[in-house]
Chains A and B, each alone.
Chain A
């Protein structure tokens, strides 16, 4: 089994499902949403966060870099075209200005970590798999899920929906208590424009699962100002939910955290993406619109 890269394991999260949860973030996503607030999740390969502002200029990175990607003249910098993300510099960087994004965890090691907090899961909490897109790693994920189920741990998945339905049904669904399914844009062209991926497969998977899973399937809609958070788009998504008889959903307020992370990745960010949180009145108005349409 090839081990996927995992870029974060967050303990004590209360935002990724019911109760207190541990959330595993997989690296790699078939979509490349311009607003993504975890842009380090998009590529399959390991990457380096490089925060020049925290650098104290000790040049330890330069001394250990095998590929000459860490330059120190005229100032400390990272030449990403030469960087293989081997992580040597991140080990030596005392200020954590360099950090390695993406690490392999053998199944047993991951499960051990996920069980550390089992006392905190209580009646409702558990483990959530997020990303990136966890379903890209069906075999690994399935093995982990099965082990957790044997330990009676509640499990949840956050997905963009771009998966092979049969595979999903056979290897993952039996071991999942909850699935959070992203619905971003109803218009196919827009979806392709902003996420680099069409939405036909996603919508088909969603419809199919909604019939099978009932309340265990929770759609989530990111509210990105000017992109997904338009009255037209939200009305369309809400109508879809109404047709499918779905009343439980989540609207996710826009998080501009992706902008800072793109800086750390050395990536440009789309000028369309706002730099601040959505104002509360707008958010309230859109929520009300959505709610009234679903009912």
Chain B
């Protein structure tokens, strides 16, 4: 069958000026400021509160919460978009998921609107509702604290909370996944409801039910209830559009509203009959999934395949023009940009600037292995080229034998225009890799990308692809420091694997490294299993289960293993830096004997201070991943093989295997900031290389770099990899040919993934210096796109310092001044800004003391003063007292040297303070001194992570209680400094 009928694959006749609707919507979208939307948190919490004592199983309670939210969710029509439905009640909204990490913004509720980095506007009424109504319900109930309670706060949880060894994704997300929308589009949600009902009745009709039967019946009922919510939401949209249409005077808007009313009356409840209905149905389903799944990496999948039947039929019948198709797809793209994540300030350091990464996949082969590129593929590419928005993350599959060179060249051209998207994937490598994981050939060929770069048998495999983010550098440092890491000081973290003097061969050192790595992976996997069990107990996914292949057939929720395939993904940070460090140790210490290991490690401890020649040896003269050096090749391939074998040995709580991956989002910058100097000559606190990418400047030229990465066995990277390349310029037709050639050759050589930033050092340096001049400069981070302006400085520096290859000579261009030694940019320390207005005469003394405390350096008595003031304000201020009405919280504050011990017990609307220990505090805060504690609680841009890592402040126990306390303390601070009355 011939899918490509377009004569001009570029669709050159279309521009934003002859697609005025898209132009207008795009301008609005880019100008929109993000706002916190509490609608979901409100209705989900409300429903769960109401059913708390219903005696119903959690599956049904949760399904009711999902339905309750969807049915009450306000129908909103903000602009002239052709598609009905919005992720939140704001034009650009950040929904709140209190069951996951929502409570981490508690301390910042009153400052998040004005914080420097990526502020989120929040209404003060919403602040109060979160603070007084919503968050208190979740104090003991979110995933992290429920897991802590159930497991007794085990070592692996404490290790996770140090944040520098591994991150456990399940505390903050259900699943990064690709749902199956096809059935719901073709047959409608009503069909799925009827199907669930039929299956439920079939079980009940059996009469005597086993426990498993009952479970199945409950599952089907939960699916039905959740799906009813989707139907209700669409009905509300339909009614809302009809009502607005009546009042609308502008004829274009009026007819659009009427059309939306009609569309939503049909879909997603019924089958989509037109392309427009299909696109809108898919969008409503995408919105609905976010009722139960956090807005991170829920990826629509292969849209050029899923939507193609409607596109073709409408185009052939004359009901649709290419221009209209571009408009509808463009509207979907802008809708996918209507939401963002709620990220606390500290986490901006690690994840800052990310979108919500709904990945769209195009091209490649179909289930039978034949060329699947079609006209809609080119429509999608055109929309991507025209709009250049952060989301969706667009991924182009390419099969070297089946897809045409014209298609690949067109994708390359879009990359040249947008400077960074789409990313390229090699079908033959990806399919082989999934088949090796037990996926059938047909399903593997239908793979799509999740979020950043993760490979998924789309709609069939529940991959939980970001379950673990493991820091490989942590394992290396543990091996170098006999189970300790510089960043966590004297704590014995890992097993003792030997003093440096005890290693006489590289093999012995490598064994120590492997032992640390195995131990660390074990910790991360065990914790992920615990989180998985908590999810099974508390967070079923009836809605997502309905939109997936497997759960309806097996009668099991996705979280209980209902999908056809199951996996857990573990991605890795610092791969290239670790490989180069191992190679430097092997070559310069054990093979050449130029240095001893103790010499090298002594230099690391001093960050090479006074030993620049040693650093240069390590940096310049050791084998590098990214070249053909046999030692580097051996160490890179064997580390990948080791990780693969280790992870594949674990079976997860859903019966699937763990899949290693190599994408890093912005974690390589964040974790880099927290790591000491490394044996590859990298200085302390400098960003690591991203994803699977070689360290900057390691590969002397473009093809050498690509060749090295292509050499990797893709079977060992079933979770996916991010390979970032920077190349300039791509201006001429010849440049474009070369770019296409390079990608084709890289794939022929076995490469799995590659993505480009087509930009010079100068462009990026200039954009960092003048963010306002480049508000929407789109860059590829490590598997997703971001507006450069939104990234934190460490991440900006890392992107600037990625080697740019000259597309004409192929040579690595030297880094710009200031980046040559890969020094991080100096970040001026943020100072607290405090002024000193008085508030209330009765409070004058404690207030004066408090202001004195927070404005001077004399902060030894900070805690006493703070608690004194709190007590007083609770007494005088009705509004402030609402913070502790019905709240029971037991806090123990203790200085490291035990010279200060203070307990604070909130009960019956009062605060009781004592200088004694109390049993069973909800949270215990151990602090170095008053200043450290004050900075931790009150600093305008608090370095919470740093404070915890330097062990200046160590919380133990339920962190939600600490968040709440921090909120109250910061509110006092704002009162004291006259920013609230």
B701 A60 Cβ-Cβ under 8 A: no
**Given A10-B811, A12-B704, A56:B738 Cβ within 8 A:** no
Q: Which of B613, B614, B742, B748 contacts A20 (CB 8 A)?
A: B742
Nearest-Cβ distance from residue A252 to partner chain B, whole angstroms = 12
- Bound Cα distance A120, B748 (Å): 9
Q: Which of A10, A117, A122, A124 contacts B809 (CB 8 A)?
A: A10
Q: Which positions 670-719 of chain B face chain A at CB distance < 8 Å?
A: 700-704, 706-707
Q: Binding site of A, secondary structure by majority: helix, strand, loop or mixed?
A: loop
**Given A60-B613, A116-B707, A12:B748 Cβ within 8 A:** no
Q: With a CB–CB cut-off of 8 A, which chain B residues contact A56?
A: 612-613, 616
Q: With a CB–CB cut-off of 8 A, which chain B residues contact A122?
A: 741, 744-745
Pair count A-B, CB < 8 A: 86
In the complex, whether B201 has a CB less than 8 A from a CB of chain A is no
B741 (CB) vs chain A CBs: closest residue = A122
Q: With a CB–CB cut-off of 8 A, which chain B residues contact A58?
A: 612-613
A117 B707 Cβ-Cβ under 8 A: yes
Nearest-Cβ distance from residue A290 to partner chain B, whole angstroms = 19
**Given A12-B704, A12-B742, A56-B613, A19:B620 Cβ within 8 A:** no
B612 (CB) vs chain A CBs: closest residue = A56
Q: With a CB–CB cut-off of 8 A, which chain B residues contact A125?
A: 741
In the complex, whether B568 has a CB less than 8 A from a CB of chain A is no
**Given A116-B628, A116-B707, A117-B707, A12:B741 Cβ within 8 A:** no
- Bound Cα distance A119, B707 (Å): 9
Residue-wise, chain A 51-62 has the 8 Å CB interface mask toward B (1 for contact) of 000001010100
In the complex, whether B191 has a CB less than 8 A from a CB of chain A is no
Residue-wise, chain B 356-386 has the 8 Å CB interface mask toward A (1 for contact) of 0000000000000000000000000000000
Nearest-Cβ distance from residue B669 to partner chain A, whole angstroms = 26
Nearest-Cβ distance from residue B750 to partner chain A, whole angstroms = 9
- Bound Cα distance A124, B745 (Å): 12
- Bound Cα distance A96, B620 (Å): 7
In the complex, whether A171 has a CB less than 8 A from a CB of chain B is no
**Given A94-B621, A119-B749, A11:B704 Cβ within 8 A:** yes
Q: With a CB–CB cut-off of 8 A, which chain B residues contact A124?
A: 737, 741
- Bound Cα distance A122, B734 (Å): 14
A14 B738 Cβ-Cβ under 8 A: yes
In the complex, whether B258 has a CB less than 8 A from a CB of chain A is no
In the complex, whether B186 has a CB less than 8 A from a CB of chain A is no
Q: Which of B616, B617, B810 contacts A12 (CB 8 A)?
A: B810
Q: With a CB–CB cut-off of 8 A, which chain B residues contact A119?
A: 707, 745-746, 748-749
**Given A20-B742, A125-B741, A94:B613 Cβ within 8 A:** yes
A15 B809 Cβ-Cβ under 8 A: yes
Q: With a CB–CB cut-off of 8 A, which chain A residues contact B529?
A: none
A125 (CB) vs chain B CBs: closest residue = B741
In the complex, whether A267 has a CB less than 8 A from a CB of chain B is no
B615 (CB) vs chain A CBs: closest residue = A94
A14 B749 Cβ-Cβ under 8 A: no
Q: Which positions 602-621 of chain B face chain A at CB distance < 8 Å?
A: 612-614, 616-617, 620-621
Residue-wise, chain A 75-92 has the 8 Å CB interface mask toward B (1 for contact) of 000000000000000000
Q: With a CB–CB cut-off of 8 A, which chain A residues contact B744?
A: 122
**Given A20-B742, A119-B749, A10:B810 Cβ within 8 A:** yes
A20 B703 Cβ-Cβ under 8 A: yes
- Bound Cα distance A19, B735 (Å): 9
Residue-wise, chain B 872-904 has the 8 Å CB interface mask toward A (1 for contact) of 000000000000000000000000000000000
A13 B741 Cβ-Cβ under 8 A: no
Chain B interfacial residues counted at CB < 8 A: 32
Q: With a CB–CB cut-off of 8 A, which chain A residues contact B745?
A: 20, 117, 119-122
B616 A14 Cβ-Cβ under 8 A: no
Nearest-Cβ distance from residue A30 to partner chain B, whole angstroms = 25
In the complex, whether A95 has a CB less than 8 A from a CB of chain B is yes
Nearest-Cβ distance from residue A120 to partner chain B, whole angstroms = 4
Nearest-Cβ distance from residue B692 to partner chain A, whole angstroms = 19
Nearest-Cβ distance from residue A171 to partner chain B, whole angstroms = 29
- Bound Cα distance A120, B704 (Å): 10
**Given A14-B808, A15-B809, A94-B620, A120:B703 Cβ within 8 A:** yes
Most buried by B among A13, A15, A116, A119: A119
Q: Which of B613, B702, B741, B805 contacts A19 (CB 8 A)?
A: B741
Q: With a CB–CB cut-off of 8 A, which chain A residues contact B612?
A: 56, 58
In the complex, whether B807 has a CB less than 8 A from a CB of chain A is yes
Q: With a CB–CB cut-off of 8 A, which chain B residues contact A19?
A: 737-738, 741
**Given A10-B809, A11-B810, A94-B620, A120:B741 Cβ within 8 A:** yes
Nearest-Cβ distance from residue B742 to partner chain A, whole angstroms = 6
Q: With a CB–CB cut-off of 8 A, which chain A residues contact B738?
A: 14, 19-20
- Bound Cα distance A12, B812 (Å): 10
B617 A94 Cβ-Cβ under 8 A: yes
B616 A10 Cβ-Cβ under 8 A: no
Nearest-Cβ distance from residue B630 to partner chain A, whole angstroms = 13
A91 (CB) vs chain B CBs: closest residue = B621
Residue-wise, chain B 488-503 has the 8 Å CB interface mask toward A (1 for contact) of 0000000000000000
- Bound Cα distance A125, B738 (Å): 9
Q: With a CB–CB cut-off of 8 A, which chain A residues contact B742?
A: 12, 20, 120
Nearest-Cβ distance from residue A14 to partner chain B, whole angstroms = 4
Nearest-Cβ distance from residue A158 to partner chain B, whole angstroms = 14
Q: With a CB–CB cut-off of 8 A, which chain A residues contact B749?
A: 119
- Bound Cα distance A120, B754 (Å): 15
A20 B741 Cβ-Cβ under 8 A: yes
- Bound Cα distance A11, B708 (Å): 13
**Given A119-B745, A120-B742, A11:B620 Cβ within 8 A:** no
Nearest-Cβ distance from residue B907 to partner chain A, whole angstroms = 65
Most buried by A among B704, B810, B811: B810
**Given A12-B742, A20-B742, A119-B749, A94:B616 Cβ within 8 A:** yes
- Bound Cα distance A122, B405 (Å): 12
Q: With a CB–CB cut-off of 8 A, which chain A residues contact B700?
A: 11
**Given A19-B741, A20-B742, A119-B749, A14:B620 Cβ within 8 A:** no
Nearest-Cβ distance from residue B733 to partner chain A, whole angstroms = 12
Q: With a CB–CB cut-off of 8 A, which chain B residues contact A12?
A: 701-704, 706, 742, 805, 809-811
Residue-wise, chain A 14-54 has the 8 Å CB interface mask toward B (1 for contact) of 11000110100000000000000000000000000000000
A14 B617 Cβ-Cβ under 8 A: no
A94 (CB) vs chain B CBs: closest residue = B616
B808 A13 Cβ-Cβ under 8 A: yes
Q: With a CB–CB cut-off of 8 A, which chain B residues contact A60?
A: 613
Residue-wise, chain A 100-140 has the 8 Å CB interface mask toward B (1 for contact) of 00000000000000001101111011000000000000000
- Bound Cα distance A13, B701 (Å): 9
Nearest-Cβ distance from residue B31 to partner chain A, whole angstroms = 36
Nearest-Cβ distance from residue A24 to partner chain B, whole angstroms = 13
Most buried by A among B704, B706, B741: B741
Q: With a CB–CB cut-off of 8 A, which chain B residues contact A116?
A: 628, 703-704, 707
B628 (CB) vs chain A CBs: closest residue = A116
Residue-wise, chain B 216-260 has the 8 Å CB interface mask toward A (1 for contact) of 000000000000000000000000000000000000000000000
Most buried by B among A11, A95, A96, A116: A11
Q: With a CB–CB cut-off of 8 A, which chain B residues contact A120?
A: 703, 706-707, 741-742, 745-746
Q: With a CB–CB cut-off of 8 A, which chain B residues contact A14?
A: 734-735, 738, 807-810
- Bound Cα distance A96, B697 (Å): 14
**Given A19-B738, A19-B741, A119-B745, A11:B613 Cβ within 8 A:** no
A113 (CB) vs chain B CBs: closest residue = B628
25 contacts across the A-B interface (CB closer than 8 A):
A11-B703, A12-B702, A12-B805, A13-B811, A14-B738, A15-B808, A15-B809, A19-B737, A20-B745, A56-B612, A56-B616, A58-B612, A58-B613, A60-B613, A94-B614, A94-B617, A94-B620, A95-B616, A116-B628, A116-B707, A119-B749, A120-B707, A120-B742, A124-B741, A125-B741
List 9 additional contacts besides A10-B810, A11-B700, A119-B745; criterion CB under 8 Å.
A10-B809, A11-B704, A12-B704, A14-B738, A14-B808, A20-B703, A20-B742, A116-B703, A119-B748
